[in-house]
Structure 1
Amino acid sequence: MTTVSDWLTEARPALRESVHVGPGLLKGTSVVHIVGDRETHAFLRVGPREAFLMAQLDGTRTLADIGVAYAEQFGKRLGEAHWTQLLGLLHSHALIEPAAPEQLEAVREKTELARRAAGRSPLLWRRPVPGAADLVVPLARRIGWLLHPLAAVPLALAGTAVAVFVLLRWSMLWTAVSESPSRSTAAVVGLLVGWVVIAGHEFFHGIACVRYGGRPTEIGVMWRFPMIAPYCKVDDVVTFPRPGQRVVTSFAGVYVNLVALIPFAALWWWGPQSGWWHGLAAALLLFGVVAALANLIPVLKLDGYHMLEHATSTSNLQGESFRFAGAFLRHGPSGIAAYSRRARRIYAGYALLATAILGPALVLLIRSWYLTLADLWSPLTAIAVLVGEAVVVGGLLRWAVVWRRRATEEA
């Protein structure tokens, strides 16, 4: 009869208090869990079995007890070698008690270097603002109540009503902008106000993250071709246990865009009915609605995309959906045989959604640009320019992918 080693019946290891095991996320044909350390901001991707074991390491149960629960869950017992391997992995990442301060610092530095490498490419560049992320916690204490349902629901509905009004009166608002005196001054002021709204948008991602127990890792300025804008990294969101918490954290930015429409609408309705201020109010309303809608488009990898990703509990939804579609197009049903029924529904649905959005948008963009060029020069010249631009964009995208892969490998 096999006996359990004494150390398995006595050891009661525990994860550090700042370590959280995230829920299962669908990724291709498998399920992954993200383990996050909110002290070092390090993350580790593990499978369902490892996640189950890590979730049991609370310092109250012995390894033998956990092994029994594991056997009931997965139908397989763990030997000493398995436990040695798992505990060694956790110790190497400073996820388990005790962890020396110098080890935590080493993990923190390694994570920071990897994050900087991942945030740089020819099409993407980030510059964190020192101390900006530290402002989120005190801000959350003061204005976090704005995310409480009693405040958030009516404010979001009011902002949505304003957005509907703007869409229905788009031509009238555009006329007010075009007829406004000193349009250049109004444009500068509108741009500055827009940046303040965008900054609030990003800070509220962080405030929502704090509301559910996380912390933003960075707040700064980002170059994402072709624009420069503030950004906020809320990596802890993948460890939140409930999809609703993750969705709200991603929606918090759009919520700010909607709330900002309310004072802009008040200026439009009750302010001067002509002149510079009237034109400024119209410009802010138009810009605000465009910004909110753009963030909700689920193919741009902005808030709407992440909301959909969190709602479906998936990881890399866009990339995996395109990979799924490619496998189906190349090999037919046999190419997607390894995918679960749930995965097939989600990935096929997203691929169809992306096609329905990107297809017409690309056709309209090419048509509009072609007509513009043909009007300026000639149809043949327009075609030549379009082909040249396609080659340049394709080369730039390929270069960006190769550059990013090399940077990741070097890190």
Structure 2
Amino acid sequence: MSPDTLRAARPRLREGVRLGPAVRSGPTLVHSVKEPVSGRYFQIGPSEFFIMARLDGITTLAEIDRQYAVEFRRRLTDDHWAHILGTLGRRGLLSGSEPPQAPAPEQRRRSLLYVRLPVVAPERWLGRLEPRLRPLFSPYAVVPLLVAVVGMEIAVLARAGDLWGATTRLGEGRPLVLAAVLLGVWLTVAVHEVAHGLTGTHFGGTATEIGVVWRFPMLAPYCRVNDIVFMARRHRVYVAFSGMFAGLVVLLPVAIAWPLLGGTAADAAGSALLLGSLSGLINLLPFFRLDGYAMLNHALGMRDLQGESLAYVRGLLRRDRALPPYPRGQTRIYVIYVTCAALACVAWVCWIVLWTVRSFGH
């Protein structure tokens, strides 16, 4: 192809190719790309994103090149353009290119410490359920429920001693009832995961798996939501928050019933309220790779806050001269995150030591 013909070309992305918003990955920005035929995902940088976002079948490469020069202060040669178009064509991202082959079946990692067992593909039934439950995503439903949940958790904190006493009494005198309570709390975690899938569906994603994961020493339900990387930042935060929120909402009837009950029923309700609240609120801690961490990651627009923070602070302590140049505000976030994680770890260890000393002291 001659240079003039190449520059006059008006290539277009394949129908259905999705380009995601920028997220911070270390010192650089990356965008996610999804090829619609095979479902493969790719990571690209800002310059590649700039070009791909303009491949609309109308704009010529010469026009894109002029815009590129203004944005990045350099021009691309004909060899560069040929390489870019060739790469996009091989990946099946250009209209008219050969569709890529479907990827090989995923090899699931299994060990004594980790096993993931898919149970159901929920995309179809969540797609039918979401329109019926759409009013629940309105602020008129979410805000009152959020206020009620916050009020419930304040009451749980205020009556934590009574709730712990109820749990202890069940453990000592009614172990089977306590086992039933634990099963009920476990089922609230299932509601938690379905809420992730439903919220992801509401904001344009797809829930491809619901199942059970064994991650030593816990057995828990899980939900896999695809395409979350293409959502707006606040929607990604909502998807991460929705599971914990739904798990606490289902405890509201228990919180209302607890003061009205007596005997074993009151102890069972109090235990469920305490254990369910702990299960939900632990998810908010951003130091484990749970919902709170995902919320913080999405809110800050980062790809892997924990890993990147540890890598940066480790290099800083070693005075590594090979550290890449990070934006100043980002390095502050890294240092604050690692400091808070270290303080939380120290507090947790101190609490365990204190609890152990007091327990054996009695």
- TM-score, length-scaled by structure 2: 0.90
Report the equivalent of 2:15.
16
- Quote the Cα distance in structure 2 between the aligned partners of 1:301 and 1:38: 29
1:371 deviates by: 8.2
Q: Which runs of 5+ in 1 are unaligned?
A: 376-411
Q: Find 1:195's aligned residue among 182, 186, 189.
A: 186
CA RMSD, 1 decimal: 2.6
Question: Which moves more between the two structures, 323-332 or 33-42?
Answer: 33-42
1:29 aligns with 2:27: yes
Distance, in Å, in 2 between the alignment partners of 1:150 and 1:319 is 38
Secondary structure, aligned partner of 2:59: coil
Matched residues, percent identical? 34
CA contact (8 A) 2:27 2:324 kept: no
Contact 2:234/2:299, CA 8 A, preserved across alignment:
yes
Specify the code of the residue in structure 1 equivalent to 2:248. L
Aligned CA distance change for structure 1 residues 356 and 16 (closer, same or farther; 3 Å): farther
Q: CA deviation at 1:350?
A: 1.0
The range that moved more, 139-148 or 70-79, is 139-148
Contact 1:212 1:245 in 2 (8 A): yes
Counterpart among 80, 84, 89 of residue 86 in structure 1: 84
In the alignment, is residue 254 of structure 1 matched against residue 252 of structure 2?
no
Name the structure 2 match of 1:356: 343
Change (3 A) 1:306 1:363: same
Gaps of 5+ in 2: none
Matched positions, count: 360
Q: Is the 8 A contact 1:36 1:239 kept in 2?
A: no
Letter in 2 for 1:152: V
Aligned amino acid, residue 359 of structure 1: V
The alpha carbon displacement at 1:220 in A equals 1.2
Secondary structure of the equivalent of 1:97?
coil
What displacement does 1:201 show? 0.8
- Asked if the contact 2:11–2:95 (Cα under 8 Å) also holds between the matched residues in 1, the reply is no
How does the TM-score come out when normalised to structure 1? 0.80
| Contact 1:254–1:303 (CA under 8 A) maintained in structure 2 | yes
CA change 1:48–1:173 in 2 (3 A) is same
Residues 183-213 of structure 1: per-residue CA shift (max 9 Å, x gap) = 2232232233223211111111111111221
Deviation at 1:225, TM superposition (A): 1.9
1:204 to 189, 195, 200: 195
1:137 aligned to which of 127, 139, 161: 127
Contact 1:182/1:276 (8 A) holds in 2:
no
Deviates more, 1:70-79 or 1:6-15: 6-15
Describe how 1:8-407 pairs up with structure 2 within 5 A.
8-17=7-16, 19-37=17-35, 40-98=38-96, 103=100, 106-107=101-102, 109-110=103-104, 112-113=105-106, 116-117=107-108, 119-120=109-110, 123-180=113-170, 183-240=174-231, 242-270=232-260, 272=261, 274-331=262-319, 336=323, 338-365=325-352
Partner amino acid, structure 1, of 2:23: L
